[in-house]
Chains A and B, each alone.
Chain A
């Protein structure tokens, strides 16, 4: 056992300033040997920036980094790798058109490291329980398999410190367990782990030490197992924000407003998922959640619901009894459908246009914002202003460009834009992705209020907590199929996790399901 007096990594007084944002404000961090250390904080706390500094992607404006006691200036990621730091990013740096072996080769600059690469990949990946075929093309792989590439790539360089940035947001609960086994083994073998997450349960399960950040500052160093999840949460969040949204139940016999009948569509995206036989009924005043890991058909489902992709037979999608499967977005809006897509930039909104113009984008149908082929500027600005006021959007006014808004504010505007149109049916894909806690609460309140008024709401989300909080019933989408919805009160996280695993390529998924079925 290496009893080195110096800690493995010691950061002191790190400062990093971006235009308009102090991402790291005199941050201190110490990671010891054989340690699994959590870096906790909400979106926007500064965690990603800090680890990018450790990994050499950017340099700090001030502060010192010591690696095994020696002060270091990390020049770039290659240098970081030489020092023994490996990083698995939240958003993978993978090249879709290349093979597994080629992708890994790209992270290895020393030709020595690239010798016998394919056989070494097979060997290491199998030995750690993360099997990979070196000649598979990345675009054929599932998200969990892609993460394995990132991990194996790091392992091949025998790191001393492995940084993992939100690794479990793309994994089923069963895959998370397997990952933890690997991480614990690595830590015991001499590779410390710096584990970034905002998921308190996982952190308490896995990590011995934690550094908690909030708004760029370190607010606490602690041992997660000695604190309750609530205590940790309070340290992470700036105020005692409580959502007024409470779990509600809609009347069982309310009339159906949105009905999907065996919806089957071939994906138009390059590496997309085909939808198979999706059926769903959403009643008046009901909120139905569709859970699932990214890449299982959510985008295709959203496109089919909004009308961007036609659904074949008109009766496959019915809105208040009217077949709409063959109709485009404008016609669907006329009949009462409103939609908030996953991607704000370039899909839900045009970032270079003003809020008024963005309001016109979806609102021109139901809010009658055009007159005789011309845009009614006054009405449009008024509509936008109404949204801004009602939903507390922090901006200078309807003439502000969409890109000048923060993520949370823009999302509030986009949700508000749809809500102000008094829809019969509202479909939202990832309602609070990349959104700060305050805006998220506002959005939840708006959704619940809408449902109380009789609107049928569908929420597609990767965030299970959010769905459990808001929804009456929950279904899971996996590999393009939808599980039968169950009331949220009756659903358990384990059950949903199994459904999320679905018919994924991994054989372990099969085995795990069999196990669970027997148990």
Chain B
């Protein structure tokens, strides 16, 4: 029989090895799923994970899909390191889109030098506002942030539906539930001509580096990490836990809001009822895949963006429902969480009782 024995330290090897092992196991299981659904597994996995990377279009789509995932994932990494379980990034993304999009619709004729940065800033504020509610409820009323942020996600989605089907509906849109397209001044520009790669795709890794510097080198980052690992020690040090909860939520909410406004002012170009295929939830996996490290979130974001493209490719080429994406993501997180034990524990055979020494003494 095997048992887990504490190592007494964190294994560096397995800190990198665990996500890789998890990925390998996930690929195997996903392949098995494909086989069960009647597709030849190797071909299906190839279609899912490799094919999207083989064309310029595919790579460009990858970077576009990865941008919001990385941005949100970076914010969540910081938040989770502070032990603040913000699950409502999807709602904060939505509010960022609503706030920024609302500004764009309100002032379509303003000059871009003024309008564009303001629109982004207001988008950030939207995300911060939504996360701020969670922070307020947690610090003032001790309300669990998982449940409140989640509930607010549903509310945010409903507010979006209301606005897009009601007061903000495009009068010339043939009754479709969408707003007018944003004006050129308020559209996020593409930075590589001929592709859809936009400003947000460049902003995302830059933000990841900035947040990494904040988390590892600054005093604030140190405070966030301490409050996440040992709240009593944080109090001993004189760090204010409520203040740090606010900061963690505002930063992650702001980043999610920024991702939201980039997405609706860039690839989508307007507000509709479905502006996100669940980025806010997938970003949770991005954060864990990157070991809650902002730079790791870049790789996590790219991998999970690939899984979205793979799902679409599987649907088109193999006739599989693109819900396989959700399966891949969920299974990946399962294996990641399972393999992580190897960082702190090792597998050892259970010791068996040895026979007694001679009874005479």
State yes or no: do A and B touch (Cβ within 8 Å).
yes
Taking Cβ atoms with an 8 Å cutoff, the residues of A that contact B are: 12-13, 19-20, 59-64, 71, 73, 306-308, 328-331, 333, 339, 341, 343, 346-353, 357, 360-362, 364-365, 370, 373-375, 401, 403-404
User: Does A307 contact B229, Cβ atoms closer than 8 Å?
Assistant: no
Can you pick out 5 interface pairs between chain A and chain B where the beta carbons lie within 8 Å of each other? A60-B353, A63-B357, A71-B356, A361-B233, A365-B238
With contact pairs A361-B226, A401-B9 given, residues A347 and B232 touching in the complex (Cβ less than 8 Å): yes
Task: State whether B351 touches A61 (Cβ < 8 A).
Answer: yes
Q: In the complex, A403→B353 CA distance in Å?
A: 30
Q: What separation, in Å, do the CA atoms of A361 and B222 have in the docked complex?
A: 9
Verify B353–A373 contact, CB threshold 8 A: no
CA–CA, A362 to B5, complex, Å?
A: 33
Cβ-defined partner of A373 (8 Å) among B220, B238, B354, B356: B220
A13–B357 CA distance with the chains assembled, in angstroms: 7
Contact of A62 with B354 in the complex, beta carbons under 8 Å: yes
Question: How far apart are the CA atoms of A350 and B8 in the complex, in Å?
Answer: 14
CA distance A62 to B235 in the complex (A): 46
B236 near A362 with CB under 8 A, answer yes
User: Once the chains bind, are A403 and B359 in contact (CB under 8 Å)?
Assistant: no
Known: A357-B222, A404-B9. A12 touches B236 (CB 8 A): no
Contacts of A347 in B (CB 8 A): 230, 232-233, 236
Complex CA distance for A20 and B351, rounded to whole angstroms: 16
Q: Would you give the shortest CB distance from A321 to chain B, in whole angstroms?
A: 22
> At the interface, yes or no: B114 with Cβ under 8 Å from chain A?
no
Q: Interface size for chain B: under 10, 10 to 19, 20 to 34, or 35 or more residues? A: 20 to 34
Which residues of B are found within 8 Å of A373, using beta-carbon distances? 218-220
CB of B171 to closest CB in A, whole Å: 50
Residue in B8, B220, B229, B351 whose beta carbon sits within 8 Å of that of A353 in the complex:
B229
A62 touches B217 (CB 8 A): no
A12's contact among B229, B235, B237, B356, by CB below 8 Å, is which? B356
Task: List residues of chain B with CB within 8 A of the CB of A306.
Answer: 236
Q: How far is the CB of A12 from chain B (nearest CB, A)?
A: 7
The count of A-to-B residue pairs whose CB atoms sit within 8 angstroms is 92
If A375-B217, A401-B9, A404-B8 touch, does A73 touch B353 (CB 8 Å cutoff)?
Answer: yes
Chain B residue at smallest Cβ distance from A28: B361
Which residues of A are found within 8 Å of B356, using beta-carbon distances? Answer: 12-13, 62-64, 71
CA distance A73 to B352 in the complex (A): 12
Q: How far is the CA of A346 from the CA of B238 in the complex (A)?
A: 14
Q: How far is the CA of A19 from the CA of B6 in the complex (A)?
A: 9
With a cutoff of 8 Å between Cβ atoms, the chain B residues found around residue A339 in the complex are 236
Contact among A308, A328, A350 for B226, CB-based, below 8 A: A350
A375 touches B233 (CB 8 A): no
Whether B230 pairs with A333 at a CB distance below 8 angstroms is no
Q: Known A-B contacts: A349-B233, A364-B237. Give 8 more (CB < 8 A).
A: A12-B356, A308-B235, A364-B219, A374-B218, A374-B219, A375-B219, A403-B8, A403-B9
A361 and B217 alpha carbons, distance in the complex (Å): 14
User: Which B residues from 227 to 260 make CB contacts under 8 A with A?
Assistant: 229-230, 232-233, 235-238, 240
Determine how close the nearest CB of chain B comes to the CB of A21; give it in whole angstroms. Answer: 11
Q: How far is the CA of A331 from the CA of B238 in the complex (A)?
A: 8
CB < 8 Å neighbour of B357 from A62, A351, A365: A62
A360 touches B222 (CB 8 A): yes
- State A347–B5 Cα separation when bound (angstroms): 25
- 10 closest A-B pairs by beta carbon, nearest first, are A64-B356, A330-B238, A329-B238, A347-B232, A13-B357, A350-B230, A346-B230, A361-B237, A308-B235, A62-B354
A350 cross-chain contacts in B, Cβ below 8 A: 226, 229-230, 233
Provide the B1-43 mask, 1 if CB < 8 A to any CB of A, else 0.
0000110111000000000000000000000000000000000
Q: A64 and B357: CB pair below 8 A?
A: yes
Which residues of B lie under 8 Å from residue A403 when comparing CB positions? 8-9
Shortest Cβ distance from B221 into A: residue: A375
Min CB distance B192 to A, Å, is 35
Closest residue of chain B to A362 (Cβ to Cβ) is: B237
A64 touches B359 (CB 8 A): yes
Given the complex, which residues of B lie within 8 Å of A333, measured CB to CB?
Answer: 238
Name the A residues within 8 Å of B217 (CB-CB).
374-375
